[in-house]
Amino acid sequence: MRIPDAPPPCQHSSATPRGWLTAVAVAVALLTIWVHWPAGRNEFVHWDDYAYLETVARHPRLNGATIRWAFGTTGHDYYSPLTWLSYVAQVRDGACAAAAFHRTSVVLHGLNAGLVVLLSGMILRRAGPLAAGAVGLCFALHPVQVESVAWVAERKTVLCGFFCLLSALAYLRAAAGATGRRGWWLATVGCYIAALLSKPMAVSLPGALLALDMYPLRRFNRVGWKRCVVEKLPLLALAIAAGWLTFVSARQVGAVEASGVVSVLERVSIGARAFGFYVWKLVWPAELSPFYSFDGILHLGRPDVLAGLAAIGVFTVLSVVFYRRSPAGAAAWLGFGAFLLPVSGIVQTGAQAAADRYLYLPVVPVSLLVAAGFGLVWRRLGMTGRGALATWLVCYLLFFAYRTRGQIAVWRNDVTLWQAALAYDPASAMASRQLAAALQREGRYAEALVSARRTVEVAPHVADAQATLGTLYWELGRDEEAIAALERALRLDPNCQPALYFLARCYVRSGQTEAARAAVRRLIELDPELEASLRQEADLVKLYNP
């Protein structure tokens, strides 16, 4: 593995005092933690959080057996052993405190903000520590980051981001000819491996390092792009291995669409729409949602797809045309594209069309480019113009902070989460079904019934929607309607366990003993581990046949 060559010393003389840059990085990190600290008052949500915690509860101690389990398991949507170990490390005597989990993510995000400042200081050397601080604040306070910070299940994103940023910093030091260059290159590789083991999102990092080769290192001009690519091949091999493990894991849990389900043109349409969508959310994050529904009918003629294709075309053309005059634009576009391509939807996972968490690292190259542009404009303005520009920037960052606090409140609990998703998209079957389930858990059955009925209206052929409606009718003592809904659920999915369970209880309450026995037997066939718990059910124990 070749160590990146050191550029001429004159290209790396720094106008930024290291002490000032470090002070700004610390200040930005502390401010970031303060803005996001209210996330510590949030609860766990029944959207992956509890599933993760149940898994961790089976491995409550950080020992050799747990480490072997973390590195040996692929039965989850991501291969992320370091993230699993970070969860285990926070379990105390079998208890999982929501505040501790949330605040760990907040602190990690604060550290990442400080690292972004240091990274920006090395890239924007002439702009000074305040410009680097502005980049760090833009990264830290942008409202799209809240999903990664305030959602316990997304610990993997902030942890992966931490190691990615460390790897990029080490790479810049190695390429800059710092003392112990071989050690810095080994640190680059080591941090990259840690990032991959936190979340496979890090597969994009080699592309981002190529963007750094393009600018500010300008190694494309000195040693040629081919050499820059070849020396990244070991990193690419690691990325391919991590990508394969993730694909296997996702397929095992059914999180990846089969290749024949979505055509090539549909995948292009999904990816194009995602690029346009994410660019707009970076510019104006006024309407955010925890869940963006995927309607599955995208085509090249849709306005949002055409807008995405146009954005990709315009940015690519501008990057090529102005490359010699200003390679910073091309580098930012390459970095943004590298981070976003794997999560653009070309390989469709789950039912979401997009997700705020996918912008966690792509915010960095965009912020760097904007800061570079601001620096050019700043030098050409007088005092009045500079004052107006500075005022606008402060107001924009304050707007980010205000929206971030609002988004943190969205993740307060299950009800607030899915109310926000439903407000963004009233036709979302996923959001209305999840809201019904959340209200049901709080005992608000009448309100939950309204959401459950809406879900069935939107998605009448979804078994889970019918099952949720049936369980609510059961809770309200409306057995006839409950049985009808639960039987519809089983016609749609004969293996729907919640429908079988509540149908058995409905049958018992309505005196249909034989039908109840059949439902219980089918339930045990599907999951023999339920046998013990069914013995404890007062209205089912008499039906249980050993």
Q: What share of the chain is helix, strand, coil (3-state, %, to 5)?
A: 75, 0, 25
DSSP string, 214-254: HTTS-HHHHH-HHHHHHTTHHHHHHHHHHHHHHHHHHHHTT
User: For 148-161, what is each residue's pLDDT tens digit?
Assistant: 999 999 999 999 99
Q: Which residue type occupies 436? A: A
Same domain, 430 and 404: no
99 lies in a domain? yes
Domain count, the chain: 2
Residues 396 and 433 in one domain: no
Using the structure block, give the residue that is written with the tokens 């996001």: 36
Mean pLDDT calculated for residue range 279-299? 84
**CA 530 – CA 532 distance, rounded (Å):** 6
- The pLDDT of residue 286: 83
Secondary structure class of 360 (helix, strand, coil): coil
Confidence of residue 259 (pLDDT cuts 50, 70, 90): very low
Residue 537 lies in a domain: yes
Its domain, for residue 521, covers: 426-543
Q: What is the pLDDT of residues 175-191, one digit of tens each?
A: 877 667 889 999 999 99
- Mean pLDDT for 129-145 is 95
Q: Is residue 211 part of a domain?
A: yes
Q: Give one word for 262, left, alpha or beta, with left for phi > 0 and alpha for psi -120 to 50.
A: beta
471 and 336 housed in the same domain: no
Highest mean pLDDT among 22-36, 282-296, 297-311: 22-36
Amino acid at residue number 491: R
Give the phi and the psi of residue 39 in degrees, each rounded to 5.
-60, -25
Q: Round to whole Å and give the CA distance between 117 and 123.
A: 10
> Does residue 24 sit in the same domain as residue 157?
yes
457 to 121, 289, 365, 460: CA distances (angstroms)? 54, 22, 43, 6
Judged against a pLDDT cut of 80, whether residue 418 lies above it is answered with yes
- The answer to whether residues 55 and 143 belong to one domain is yes
What's the CATH number where 514 sits? 1.25.40.10
Instruction: Give the angle 150-154-156 at the CA atoms, nearest 5°.
Output: 130
Query: Using H for helix, E for strand and C for coil, what is the string for 470-500?
Result: HHHHHHCCCHHHHHHHHHHHHHHCCCCHHHH
Flag whether 488 is in a domain.
yes
Res 205 pLDDT > 70? yes
**Which pLDDT does position 267 carry in this prediction?**
77
Q: Which of 380, 410, 440 is the C-terminal boundary of a domain?
A: 410
**Do residues 37 and 103 lie in contact, with contact meaning Cβ atoms separated by under 8 Å?**
yes
Residues 399 and 433 in one domain: no
Residue 12 forms part of a structural domain: no
pLDDT in tens, 433-490: 999 999 999 999 999 999 999 999 999 999 999 999 999 999 999 999 999 999 999 9
Minimum mean pLDDT range among 353-367, 411-425, 451-465, 502-516: 502-516
> What DSSP element (H or E) covers 255?
none
Please indicate, yes or no, if residue 420 is contained in any of the structural domains. no
- Alpha-carbon dihedral angle through residues 318, 320, 325, 327, given to the nearest 10 degrees: 100
C-beta of residue 233 within 8 angstroms of C-beta of residue 353: no
Same structural domain for residues 431 and 402? Answer: no
* Judgement on whether residues 295 and 342 belong to the same structural domain of the protein: yes
Examine the domain organization and report whether 232 and 312 are in the same domain. yes
Residues 342 and 475 in one domain: no
6 occurs within a structural domain: no
Give the number of other Cβ atoms within 10 Å of residue 129's Cβ.
Answer: 23
What's the pLDDT score for residue 178? 61
Q: Which residue has the tokens 């124990």?
A: 541
Closest CA to 421 of 411, 141, 51, 42: 411
Could you tell me the pLDDT band of residue 12, with boundaries at 50, 70 and 90? very low
pTM higher than the cut 0.85: yes
